[in-house]
Structures are given as C-alpha cells and as structure tokens.
Structure 1
Amino acid sequence: MSLAYLRLEIRRTFRSTRFVVFAVVFPVVMFLLQANLFLPAGTPHRAELVGVFMVNMMAFGVLSAAMAGGGRLALERAGGWQRQLRLTPLSGAGYLGGKGLSGMLVALPALVLVPVVAVITEGVHLGFDGWLRAGLGSWLGAVPFVLLGLLLGQFGTPESMQPLGMLVTMTMGFLGGLWVPIDTMPEWLRGVSQLLPSYWLTQLGRGAVTSELSVSLLTAVAVLAGWTVVLGAIVIRRYRADSARV
C-alpha cells in the first residue's frame, strides 16, 4: 500500500465540508442535545443513560465516516480514475487497502471528540477496560461499514451515492438503536435490528456502560467479523469483475 496514496485519501476526505459536519460535528452536537433535552438533572440512572447516548454517538460518527469512502469510489469509477490507477504500480489490493484504511482513520475524530465532550460536560466516567471496549471496540467495529461503503461505491453512480449513502446510514442508525433506544423498541423491531451490523456495533460500546439489553463482547465481535468476511469477499469479487472489463 502506498503511504502517499493513503495521505491523499485522508486529505481529500477532510476537505469535504459535508463530511466534517456529518461525521464529526453532528455526533457531538447530537450527544449534547440528547443528554440535556432527554435527561434533565434528577433523571433516574442518568449517568448510565448519558453513557449510552455517548457510545451511540461514537458509533454513529464511526459509521458515517466509514461509509464516506463509497462516494469517492463512485466518482473515481465514473471519471476513469480506477482505470488510470491500474496502469500504475499500485495494485488492486493496495487500492482497496488504502480506501479501507483511510475509512478507518477518518473515523477517529468522532471517536475521540464525543467522549472528550462527554467527560468535560457530563462527567462521564468509565474504567480503563470500559474506555478500551467503547473506543477500540467501536473503531474496529467500523471495518464492515468501510466495506459496505466501498460496495455501494462499486455499484452506485456519483449522482446516486449521496442519497443512497444517507439512506443506508440513517436506516442503519435508526434500526441499530442509535436514535431510538433499544429498550423502547417493540419486540419485533428489536428482532429486525439484530439482523443489521449497526446493532452489533452499538453493542460493542453499550456493554461498556450498562448491562441492560447488552450482549457479550465475544458475540458482538463474532457477528461483526462474519459481516466483514462476507462484505470483504463481495468487494474483492466486484473489483476483479470491474478490472476484467478494462
């Protein structure tokens, strides 16, 4: 993988005002709104609920950032950039690896800013193992969403990627329990949410702040690993099919 190509990908991402607002600023603002509007002082178990809001917005920032690479990939396909790259020493694995690692790295700001704001403004406190699970777990849990973004970019067009990406991100967020607390969902909707990787992403962080409606860490990791393998195989297959047509 070319480090120069990776730096280029990261710079291009952060030059997008829409990306910075939606994947970095928005999760922080939504955390503050949720914590202060829905959880006034004196709310029972407020500290625990604020922690849940925090890890949910960490997950949303990670999800949004991870999916962002799909739009750029669609533009590169439409503009012939992929065909040009195939004439360079950059391999297909290097190209996809650069896209994937870029998606992971640009997820870090929201993953850091949301808990910093939570600690400063709401006094959220976790032990070392809790922060490790919420932070590192949520970051590594972004892998299947990076792959999902790349998959959408391999099929979508530059015109369709913005609404498509927004639709997928918001649907994943809603059904994954990021916007509507899982414990307020009807039983049937909880069953639907468990079919999506976003539910298991929130479970990585949720288990660090509460035991209510949480699953074991190993279960969440195993499910997300399964999504990673399946999506990774499809992305590679699609890229090879595109290459064969050139």
Structure 2
Amino acid sequence: MSLTYLTLEIRRTFRSTRYVVLAVAFPVVLFLLQANVFLQGETPHREQLAGVFMVNMMVYGAFGAALTGGGRLALERAGGWQRQLRLTPLSGGGYLGGKTLAGMLVTLPALILVPVVGVLVEGVSLDPAGWVRVVAGSWLGAIPLVLLGLVIGQFATPDSMQGISILVMMVFGFAGGLFVPIDAMPDWLREVSPVLPTYWLTQIGRGAVTADLSVDLLGAAAVLAGWTVVLGAIVVRRYRRDSARG
C-alpha cells in the first residue's frame, strides 16, 4: 500500500463539502436535536437515553463517511483509472487496501466529535472500558460499512451513485434502528433489523450505555465479521472482473 496514495485519498475526502456536512456536522446536529426534542430534564434514565442517541448518530456519521469512498471509486472506474493502475507501481491490492483504510480513517471525526458533544452538552458519562467499547468498537465495526460503500461504487455509475447512497442510508438507517427505536418498530421490521450491519454496529456501542435491547459484544462482532468477509470478497471479485475487461 502506498502511503502517498493513502494521504491523497484522505485529503481529497476532507476537502469535500459533502463529506463535512453529511458525515461530520449533520450527525452532531441530529444528536442535539434528538436529545432536546425527546429528552427533558426530568426524563427517567435520561443519561442512558442520551447515550443511545449518541451511539446511533456516531454510526450514522460513520456510515455517511464510509459511503464517500464509494462515490470516488465510481468516478475512477468511469474515468478508466483502474486500467491505468497497471502502468503504475500501485498494485491492485494496494489500491483496494488504500481505499479501505482511507474509508476507515475518515469515519473517525464523527466517532470522536459526537461523543465529545455527548459529554460536554448532554452529560453522557461512561467508565474507561465503556468509552473504549463505544469509540474503538464502533470504529472497528465500521469496516463492513466501508466495504459496502466500495461495493456500491464498483457497481454504480457516477450519475447514479448519489441516489443509491441516499437510498441505502435511508433503508439501513431506519431499518437498522438509527432513527427509530428498535422497541418502537412494528414486528415485521424488528425481524428485518438483525439482518443489517447498522443494527449490529449500534449494538456494539449500545451495550456500553444500556442493557436494554442489547446483544453480547462477541455476537455483534461475529455478525459484523461475517459481513466483512462477504463484502470484502465481492469487492475483490468485482475489481478483478473489471481489470480483466480492461
């Protein structure tokens, strides 16, 4: 993997206005909006509920950041960049690895900024082990979301990428429990939620703030690992197919 290429990828992302708004500013605004609309000063278990909202918006921000890499990949495919790779020292593995690592790194602002606001504004308080699980666990658990963004970018066109990304975020967000509490969902939607990686990623952080409707950490990690293997295989297979066509 080329450090120069990785640095370029990260810089391009941070310079994107869409990334800053969707993946950094919007999660913070939504978190504060949810906390102030649904939680009042006398709300029972207010701190725990604020922690749940915080985890949900961390995942939402990470998801938005993860999908930005897919948009750039769609543009590069359309422009023939992957064919040009064979004329450069950058290998296919280095290219995909750089995309994945860059996608992981650009999820960090939301995973750090939202908890900071949670502590300073909404009074969320966890022990050190809880914060490690919320922040580090959510970051590692975001790997399948990054790969999902790359999968979309490998199949979508530059014109269709934005629409597909919005649709995927809406479906995975609402059905995964980011905007609607899982216990408030209709029965049929509760059966759909555990299929999605967003559901399991929220479970990693949620287990640190409340025991309600939470699963064990190892169970959530195992499901996300399965998603990582499947999506990673699709990314590699599609890349090889595109390269063979070139």
Smaller-chain TM-score bracket: over 0.9
Q: Does 1:189 align with 2:189?
A: yes
| Equivalence for 1:215 | 215
How many pairs align? 246
Deviations 1:110-155 (A, max 9, x none): 1110000110011110001110111011101110011111111111
TM-score by length of 2: 0.99
Instruction: Give the letter aligned to residue 28 of structure 1.
Output: V
Deviations 1:82-113 (A, max 9, x none): 21122101011000000000000000001110
| Equivalence for 1:168 | 168
User: What's the offset of the Cα at 1:31?
Assistant: 0.5
Instruction: Give the letter aligned to residue 145 of structure 2.
Output: F
Q: Does 1:68 align with 2:68?
A: yes
More displaced, 142-151 or 181-190? 181-190
Q: Distance in 1 between matches of 2:129 and 2:170?
A: 30
Deviations 1:167-204 (A, max 9, x none): 10121111110000111112221111111111001101
| Equivalence for 2:123 | 123
TM-score by length of 1: 0.99
Q: Does 1:203 align with 2:203?
A: yes
User: What's the offset of the Cα at 1:43?
Assistant: 0.8
Q: Distance in 2 between matches of 1:135 and 1:234?
A: 27
| Equivalence for 2:50 | 50
Instruction: Give the letter aligned to residue 136 of structure 1.
Output: A
Note the aligned Cα RMSD (angstroms): 0.7
User: What's the offset of the Cα at 1:158?
Assistant: 0.2
Instruction: Give the letter aligned to residue 147 of structure 1.
Output: L
| Equivalence for 2:178 | 178
Q: Distance in 1 between matches of 2:169 and 2:13?
A: 17
Q: Distance in 2 between matches of 1:4 and 1:68?
A: 19
Structure 2: where are the runs of 5+ without partners? none
Aligned residues with identical type, % of pairs: 73
| Equivalence for 2:32 | 32
Deviations 1:52-99 (A, max 9, x none): 000111111111111211100000011112211221010110000000
Large movers: runs of 4+ above 2 Å: none
Q: Distance in 2 between matches of 1:167 and 1:11?
A: 26
Q: Distance in 1 between matches of 2:65 and 2:25?
A: 12
Instruction: Give the letter aligned to residue 2 of structure 2.
Output: S
Instruction: Give the letter aligned to residue 155 of structure 1.
Output: F
Instruction: Give the letter aligned to residue 204 of structure 2.
Output: L
